Amino acid sequence: MFEVGLYDERKGRKRTIFFTGLIGAIIGAILILLALPALERNGILSSRTESSNEEGNNIAEERSVSIDVTTDITKAVDKVSDAVVGVVNIQKSGFWEDESESSEAGTGSGVLYKKSGNKAYLVTNYHVIEGANEIEVSLKDGSRIAGKVRGGDDLTDLAVIEIDGKNIKTLAEFGDSDRIKAGEPAIAIGNPLGLQFAGSVTQGIISGTNRLIPQDLNNDGNPDWQAEVIQTDAAINPGNSGGALINVAGKVIGINSMKIAEDAVEGIGLSIPINTARPFIEDLEKDGEVHRPYIGISTLSLSQISGYHLQETLKLPKGIVEGVAVLRVSRLSPAAKAGMKEYDVIVEMEGKRVRNIIDLRKYLYQKGVNDTLDITFYRNGKKKNETLKLVEEPK
């Protein structure tokens, strides 16, 4: 029995009405039950249908959910990934030609950028194809075709390979590396650690532009070139060399070249800016070599020469400790025709200070074949100026 509360005038109080809350709960439950079909139709509640199998067990059928994960990053990757291929360096081993065997000496990556007629062309790193007796190119579908090296250049670490273009459908588009900014997204595509990880994608940002990395090309312990590269924290590992660094528009902004591999350093990948690489790629594709101006001297940076020889052999004024000493002048070269001699010390080119061999090559290679070059140098303690007519570097 529920007690019905009445107001008792004699006692001056109101008794609690117990059934009022119960009636409210019942009405609320009825409203929810009436609303359930509408909630399910609108997807607010998941629908579950139960059916009985032959043994009388209930089986729940749940509605599957589809999620669209398309982003600017995935669109960029889809646009260019088929144009990033594997490059296999095959070398022969064995002393005797008829007993030698061919084997894979290493793998890298390459970027398909052009088709002409029935040929296609890809760019990769020089160190990927260096020493190869044969080249194979591994396409996105896993098939391999023979490749022919059109040309390679150690100084820029670039090479161009020609392949049969019959089955090539996708080409990468070059972007503008001069417009990239630190902090913008960057995506690396390549084949890290071999072809079993072909087409791997890593994402990061542009960590820095115009980074200068000294390189010792002849392994004498002294830098003789300085590569200008893009720095990114997108993971680049062995095998990524020659692959693409792209922006969110799916355009190639760099050719991945190397990684600083030290225990204390992580997330530093380096890539050759595509605007820097483009003229060298064109030379290698067309002529199989890079056309560079030549002055005809053998040199040594002053930093590698003792103080004694700076004064006694080169006879430099005190305080001149930066520059490039001329050790030999080739006959009939531009330097010889301009009257340069052994032990001259070059300190300026085109009015810019020359501190070492890196500077000399930098300013020289900014010139073209048949251009003139103004040089300032010391001879026996006296400053001189000469103008050289540049020619193409002999092969």
Buried b (16+ CB within 10 A) or exposed e, 205-237: ebbebeeeeeeeeeeeeeebbbbebbbbbbbbb
Q: Do 302 and 380 fall within a single domain?
A: yes
Q: Which of 157, 224, 344, 359 is catalytic?
A: 157
State the Cα–Cα distance between residues 317 and 377, nearest whole angstrom: 12
pLDDT at residue 20 greater than cutoff 70: no
Q: Do 56 and 78 fall within a single domain?
A: no
Residue-wise pLDDT tens digits, 217-255: 777 777 778 888 999 999 888 888 999 999 999 999 999
Total domains in the chain come to 4
pLDDT range class, residue 266, cuts 50, 70, 90? low
Q: Which of 116, 140, 164 is the last residue of a domain?
A: 164
Q: Which of 264, 285, 306 is the last residue of a domain?
A: 285
Q: Is 339 left (phi over 0), alpha (psi -120 to 50) or beta?
A: left
Whether the Cβ atoms of residue 263 and residue 239 lie closer than 8 Å to each other: no
Whether the Cβ atoms of residue 254 and residue 271 lie closer than 8 Å to each other: yes
Q: Do 194 and 129 fall within a single domain?
A: no
Q: Do 36 and 85 fall within a single domain?
A: no
- Write down the pLDDT at residue 51: 44
pLDDT at residue 298 greater than cutoff 60: yes
Whether the Cβ atoms of residue 206 and residue 180 lie closer than 8 Å to each other: yes
> What CATH number does the domain containing 255 carry?
2.40.10.10
Active site residue 127: yes
Report the range of poorest mean pLDDT among 125-129, 175-179, 280-284, 366-370: 366-370
Q: Do 345 and 258 fall within a single domain?
A: no
- Write down the pLDDT at residue 92: 85
> What CATH number does the domain containing 332 carry?
2.30.42.10
Q: Do 275 and 347 fall within a single domain?
A: no
Q: Do 273 and 297 fall within a single domain?
A: no
Q: Determine the distance from the C-alpha atom of residue 202 to the mean position of all C-alpha atoms in its chain, rounded to a whole number.
A: 11
pTM of the predicted model over 0.85:
no
Assess if residue 323 is contained within a domain. yes
pLDDT at residue 166 greater than cutoff 80: yes
Assess if residue 1 is contained within a domain. no
Q: Determine the distance from the C-alpha atom of residue 288 to the mean position of all C-alpha atoms in its chain, rounded to a whole number.
A: 23
State the Cα–Cα distance between residues 368 and 356, nearest whole angstrom: 21
pLDDT range class, residue 208, cuts 50, 70, 90? very high
Assess if residue 368 is contained within a domain. yes
pLDDT at residue 30 greater than cutoff 90: no
Among 312, 380, 390, 321, which residue's Cα sits nearest to residue 349?
A: 390
Q: Do 300 and 281 fall within a single domain?
A: no
Largest CA distance in the chain: 134
Assess if residue 386 is contained within a domain. yes
Q: Do 87 and 28 fall within a single domain?
A: no
Percent of the chain predicted with pLDDT > 90: 62
Q: Which of 240, 268, 285 is the last residue of a domain?
A: 285
Residue-wise pLDDT tens digits, 137-158: 999 888 999 999 999 999 999 9
Q: Which domain holds residue 83?
A: 73-164
- Write down the pLDDT at residue 50: 45
- Write down the pLDDT at residue 17: 46
Structure tokens that stand for 54 in this block: 């032959």
pLDDT range class, residue 25, cuts 50, 70, 90? low
**Amino acid sitting at position 271:** S
Q: Do 211 and 143 fall within a single domain?
A: no
Q: Do 116 and 156 fall within a single domain?
A: yes
Assess if residue 106 is contained within a domain. yes
State the Cα–Cα distance between residues 201 and 99, nearest whole angstrom: 41
Among 352, 57, 286, 261, which residue's Cα sits nearest to residue 150?
A: 286
- Write down the pLDDT at residue 22: 59
- Write down the pLDDT at residue 220: 78
State the Cα–Cα distance between residues 286 and 283, nearest whole angstrom: 5
pLDDT at residue 87 greater than cutoff 70: yes
State the Cα–Cα distance between residues 338 and 296, nearest whole angstrom: 11
Assess if residue 2 is contained within a domain. no
Assess if residue 67 is contained within a domain. no
Assess if residue 170 is contained within a domain. no
Higher pLDDT, 372 or 92: 372
Q: Which of 127, 200, 257, 344 is catalytic?
A: 127
Q: Which of 81, 109, 138, 241 is catalytic?
A: 241
Give the burial class of 367: count Cβ atoms within 10 A of its Cβ; 0-12 exposed, 13-18 middle, 19 or more buried.
middle
Q: Where are the beta strands (DSSP E) in 1-78?
A: 7-8, 13-14, 48-52, 58-62
Active site residue 241: yes
Q: Do 91 and 140 fall within a single domain?
A: yes
In residues, how long is the chain?
A: 395
